[in-house]
Amino acid sequence: MRANPLKAGVERGELQIGTWVNMMRNPASLTMFKQAGLDFVRLDMEHSSPSIETVADFAVMGRALDFPVMVRPPEASREWITRLLDVGIYNLHCPQVDTPEQAAEIVAASRYTPQGSRGMSGASPGNDFDISGMPVMDRLKFTNDQVFITVMFESAQAFEHLDEIASMDGIDALTLGPQDLAQDLGVFGTPDQDRVLDEKRTQIVEAANKYGKTCAMLVNSAEQARKWRDAGVLLVVYSSEVNVLMDGYRSALADIRV
């Protein structure tokens, strides 16, 4: 069975830089992302259209390339967590986690006994079809150790439970959803939005440091990336393939049409 390079890199204290994937559907694109120097990609199933079959193809290609794939499911439910883990995704980016009860359900669904109650399955991409290479309890422990769960704080309610969720065993990383959080806090589109969100980002970094967890941040510039890297963030997600392509074409076309 293959290990999770993203989790191993974080445990070594190494910065991991990724990008959102919203539109690309060809798993061969992972070879391009890896060659470009990225450490992982994050597929979005909540706000874009990849099917579970597409995600499964990305998962297998990512494992073959030793290039981590993270997925944000439409909902952090047992159904989605089980399916994504079983098709070979180790890294889950769980949206709308508002309460300790939700976080505990995510942990239980994502780990086998004794850490949780993840549903058992046979040979699958989630274990590289290797169910006889080690004793069963050792295999379950190894699998549990590879899973990497990031929870998203996207509401005022979530921040009321920040310490309870951040301190929970089985929650590996913390982040926020900037636009949904700004909307819930009533600052979306106002002059206060950036200031309020940075205050919330700082709260998350402090909680991660307090409880020995990793912190993840979405950034849209190298300056932002360096700022949060220097604050201790180890998972930096730069923009998305959609924005990078649009910016590149806009810039090239502006030069051509001068």
pLDDT tens-place string over residues 7-34:
999 999 999 999 999 999 999 999 999 9
The answer to whether 151 touches 173, Cβ cutoff 8 Å, is yes
The gap from C-alpha 106 to its chain's centroid, in whole angstroms, comes to 14
Q: Residue 157 burial by CB count (10 A; 0-12/13-18/19+): exposed, middle or buried?
A: exposed
The rounded distance, in Å, linking the Cα atoms of 118 and 138 is: 15
Query: Cα separations (Å) of 81 from 43, 92, 209?
Result: 14, 8, 26
The rounded distance, in Å, linking the Cα atoms of 168 and 162 is: 10
> What average pLDDT does the chain have?
97
- Side chain identity at residue 120, one-letter code: M
Express each pLDDT in 33-71 by its tens digit.
999 999 999 999 999 999 999 999 999 999 999 999 999
Express each pLDDT in 66-93 by its tens digit.
999 999 999 999 999 999 999 999 999 9
Residues 6+ apart with CB under 8 A from 28: 61
pLDDT of residue 109: 98
pLDDT of residue 133: 82
Q: Indicate the SS3 state at residue 187.
A: coil
pLDDT above 90 covers a percentage of the chain that reads: 98
Q: Indicate the SS3 state at residue 226.
A: helix
Q: Can you list the domains of the chain with their CATH numbers?
A: 5-256 (3.20.20.60)
Could you tell me the pLDDT band of residue 192, with boundaries at 50, 70 and 90? very high
**Structure tokens of 37?**
């120097």
Give the pLDDT mean for 110-139. Answer: 94
Answer whether residue 132 shows pLDDT above 90. no
Express each pLDDT in 151-188 by its tens digit.
999 999 999 999 999 999 999 999 999 999 999 999 99
Angle at which helix 29-36 crosses helix 52-65, to 10 degrees, equals 50
- Side chain identity at residue 91, one-letter code: N
Angle at which helix 193-211 crosses helix 178-185, to 10 degrees, equals 110
Following DSSP, what letter does each residue of 134-200 receive, concatenated? S-HHHHHHHHHHH-EEEEEE-SHHHHHTHHHHHT-TT--EEEE-HHHHHHHHT-TTSTTHHHHHHHH
Following DSSP, what letter does each residue of 227-245 receive, concatenated? HHHHTT--EEEEEEHHHHH
pLDDT of residue 241: 98
